[in-house]
Amino acid sequence: MRPWKVEFEEFVRARSHALLRYGLVLTGSADDAADLVQEALVKLSSSWRRVRSKDDPEGYVRTIMARQHVSWWRRRRLEHLTAEVPSPVHEDEHELGEIWRRLRALPARQRTVLVLRYYEDLADAEIAARLGISQATVRSQASRALATLRVRADALTGRWR
Amino acid sequence: MTTEEKLAQALRTIADRAENQDVLPGVMAKRRRRRRRKAKGALVAVCAAALGWGAMVAWPAPQVVVDTAEPRPAQPEGNAVERVWPQAVFTMPARSRPLAAISATEVLVWGDRGTLEVYDATSKGSRTVAALRQAPQHLAVDRERVVWLADGQAWVAPLRAGGQARKVGPVPGENVDRMALAGQDVVWSAPLDGVWRMRIDGGVPERVPGSKGLQLVEWPWATDEPLDMRTNPTKVVNLQTGRTIKVHPASGVEGLRCGPTWCTGTRGDDTVVQSSDGSWNDVHRGLRDYPFRDRFFTGSGEIYDARTRTTVTFEGTQLPSGGKQWSSGSGVIFWTQDGGVRVVNLAAVAQP
């Protein structure tokens, strides 16, 4: 049997870009995405053998990332409010910027549900399992988030860009 | 395309911008730190048990922001904001962030101790207006007072020293996203719900006559802004006089957002500035949103004054990629520079 560290490192090298992509749509910042991926991988490294034997380390990491993101966001939103947060959207991308701003304005759990449904393509039952909430909550969070996105939710005044 | 399809496409586009990086060294470093902390924690627990002390673990500090903007071509330096509008630029201490322009010399700022303050660029001093739990997301200011939304209530505080914040009354609706001060009234709007007002000295909300279906632009102007980002509005209305300006989109322009005189919209990949009546238009990369004081548009490290057709550049935070980063509030554009906050106050730009 190969040492766990070799297996783990191979997994990280093979999957880190996909995880960074997922981290970026969750957090909106390349820096937070890298932080989130590293944090989840540290947790994975501690339980590598157990998770590896079930053959789904990536699902495990993505679950940690989704849950960790919701809990970090609660701690960090005040920091972000007064910091200049770089956007992955370029200044001249009118429509994409608008969608992204509205998405970023959603509460973290609603936003995470949308990312899992429309980026990860997960069914509501899978989203419920990943976030540790009921399917009814997934449905209500998703419909509330979509309703907010359909109306203009961004402020014209006094809002950080 | 439905909202869901647009959302899925936007998420894929954003994800494609994630650059790959080697996260392994960071993971291993974190592992080593955790293991040391765990060992130390075990020791602390032993000491705590023996001596009756507790221990606190601090959360790591936020990381430095990472550059994601696209490099932009170098701008000519001749029209730098410092040269064209020197009176509008100043540097303030890094502990505050501007929220809105008040006058040629004053801006409303959010202080890091949780206070709304008035910063005077001439005296370089600030005075506290109110202490709040968190920075308001919706606010409006004039020379006398500031109003803001918190927990479904409108609040007001005078800008003069020694004033006190007080509750104005309830602002119903979850989607209120624009506010303004109109003499003795606070006015606000939510998408498709018309414009509402309430006396600052107390009263009940009432819909402003003639505002059904309109959204505030800048009081007294409101517009029938469509929910769909690509659709154009048809009119901009003065809610005091009833004067209506019909919007005439230039050929091929979508998603116009118009003040009484000027609009921005998109045509293909370009951003277009046009007059609301459609008599003039020009391509200006990166500008967007409604104009400030029916005149100034901001984007791509530039401010465009549609009234004088002047473009000025500002420095912003220079990113390693060659791009720029900045933030903005109502009539203020700002970025961190040399340990302070560099501010452009558009209220300091004279009338032509």
Across residues B224-243, what is the average pLDDT? 89
Helix (H, G, I), strand (E, B) or coil at B176: coil
Yes or no: say if B203 and B169 are a contact pair by the CB < 8 Å rule. Answer: yes
Determine whether the interchain pair A42/B229 forms a contact, defined as Cβ–Cβ distance below 8 Å.
Answer: no
The distance from CA B157 to its chain's CA centroid, rounded to whole angstroms, is 21
Residues B154-172: pLDDT tens digits? Answer: 999 999 877 789 999 999 8
User: Which among A16, A119, A155 has CB closest to B20?
Assistant: A16
Determine whether the interchain pair B271/A35 forms a contact, defined as Cβ–Cβ distance below 8 Å.
Answer: no
Helix (H, G, I), strand (E, B) or coil at B346: helix
> Model ipTM?
0.85
Q: B2, B11, B31, B67: which to substitute to probe chain A, counting the most A Cβ within 10 Å?
A: B11
Identify the pLDDT of residue B322: 62
Higher-confidence residue of B192 and A116: namely: A116
Across residues B269-277, what is the average pLDDT? 89
Sheet holding B310-313, edge to edge: B288-292, B296-299, B302-305, B310-313
Residue B184 has pLDDT above 90, yes or no: yes
Determine whether the interchain pair B14/A24 forms a contact, defined as Cβ–Cβ distance below 8 Å.
Answer: yes
Q: What is the pTM of this model?
A: 0.60
Name the strand (E) or helix (H) holding B227.
none
Residue B309 has pLDDT above 60, yes or no: yes
Identify the pLDDT of residue B256: 92
- For chain A, positions 48-67, list CB contacts with chain B under 8 A: none
Instruction: Specify the residue for token string 């909300």.
Output: B205
Identify the pLDDT of residue A48: 84
Identify the pLDDT of residue B64: 23
Determine whether the interchain pair B22/A82 forms a contact, defined as Cβ–Cβ distance below 8 Å.
Answer: no
Yes or no: say if A108 and A75 are a contact pair by the CB < 8 Å rule. Answer: no
Determine whether the interchain pair B191/A151 forms a contact, defined as Cβ–Cβ distance below 8 Å.
Answer: yes
CA distance B73 to B283: 16
Identify the pLDDT of residue B174: 65
Enter the DSSP assignment of B75. Answer: P
Distance from CA of A113 to the nearest CA of B (A): 12
Percent helix, percent strand, percent coil in chain B, to nearest 5: 15, 40, 45
Chain A residues inside the 8 Å CB shell of B64? 31
Residues B119-140: pLDDT tens digits? Answer: 999 999 999 999 988 778 789 9
Helix (H, G, I), strand (E, B) or coil at B305: strand
Distance from CA of B2 to the nearest CA of A (A): 10
Tokens for A104, please give them: 């970023």
Across residues A76-95, what is the average pLDDT? 59
User: Which among A30, A82, A91 has CB closest to B299?
Assistant: A91
Determine whether the interchain pair B66/A94 forms a contact, defined as Cβ–Cβ distance below 8 Å.
Answer: no
Task: Read off the pLDDT band of A78 (50, 70, 90).
Answer: very low
CA distance A124 to A142: 9
Residues A117-159: pLDDT tens digits? Answer: 999 999 999 999 888 889 999 999 999 898 888 764 333 322 3
Higher-confidence residue of A62 and B328: namely: A62
Task: Read off the pLDDT band of A100 (50, 70, 90).
Answer: confident
User: Which among A12, A153, A157 has CB closest to B23?
Assistant: A12
Residues B324-342: pLDDT tens digits? Answer: 778 888 899 998 888 899 9
Q: Which of B38-52, B75-89, B179-193 has the highest mean pLDDT?
A: B179-193
Identify the pLDDT of residue A2: 66
Q: Which amino acid is at B140?
A: A
Tokens for A122, please give them: 């997960």
Residue B62 has pLDDT above 70, yes or no: no
Task: Read off the pLDDT band of B24 (50, 70, 90).
Answer: confident
Helix (H, G, I), strand (E, B) or coil at B47: helix
Residue B70 has pLDDT above 60, yes or no: no
Q: Which of A57-71, B9-23, B101-115, B166-180 has the highest mean pLDDT?
A: B101-115
Q: Give percent of chain B above pLDDT 70.
A: 86
User: Which among B66, B140, B229 has CB closest to A30?
Assistant: B66
| DSSP per residue, chain A | ---HHHHHHHHHHHHHHHHHHHHHHHHS-HHHHHHHHHHHHHHHHHTHHHHHHTT-HHHHHHHHHHHHHHHHHHHHHHHHHTS----SS-TT-HHHHHHHHHHHTS-HHHHHHHHHHHTS---HHHHHHHHT--HHHHHHHHHHHHHHHHS--S-SSS---
What does the mean pLDDT of chain A come to?
A: 79
Q: Which residues of B15-40 are buried (b: 16+ CB within 10 A; e: fewer)?
A: beebeebebeebbbebbeeeeeeeee
Chain B residues inside the 8 Å CB shell of A98? 229
Higher-confidence residue of B99 and B284: namely: B99
- The runs of H, that is alpha helices, within chain B are 3-15, 24-51, 81-84
Determine whether the interchain pair A152/B175 forms a contact, defined as Cβ–Cβ distance below 8 Å.
Answer: yes
Instruction: Specify the residue for token string 């540790």.
Output: A132
Q: Which of B17-26, B314-323, B335-344 has the highest mean pLDDT?
A: B335-344
Query: What sign does the dihedral B42-B43-B48-B50 (CA atoms) show?
Result: positive
Chain B residues inside the 8 Å CB shell of A81? 134-135
User: Which among B23, B192, B336 has CB closest to A38?
Assistant: B23
Determine whether the interchain pair B227/A78 forms a contact, defined as Cβ–Cβ distance below 8 Å.
Answer: no
CA distance B138 to B176: 8
What does the mean pLDDT of chain B come to?
A: 82
Task: Read off the pLDDT band of B321 (50, 70, 90).
Answer: low
Task: Read off the pLDDT band of A74 (50, 70, 90).
Answer: low
CA atoms within 13 A on the CB side of B150: 16
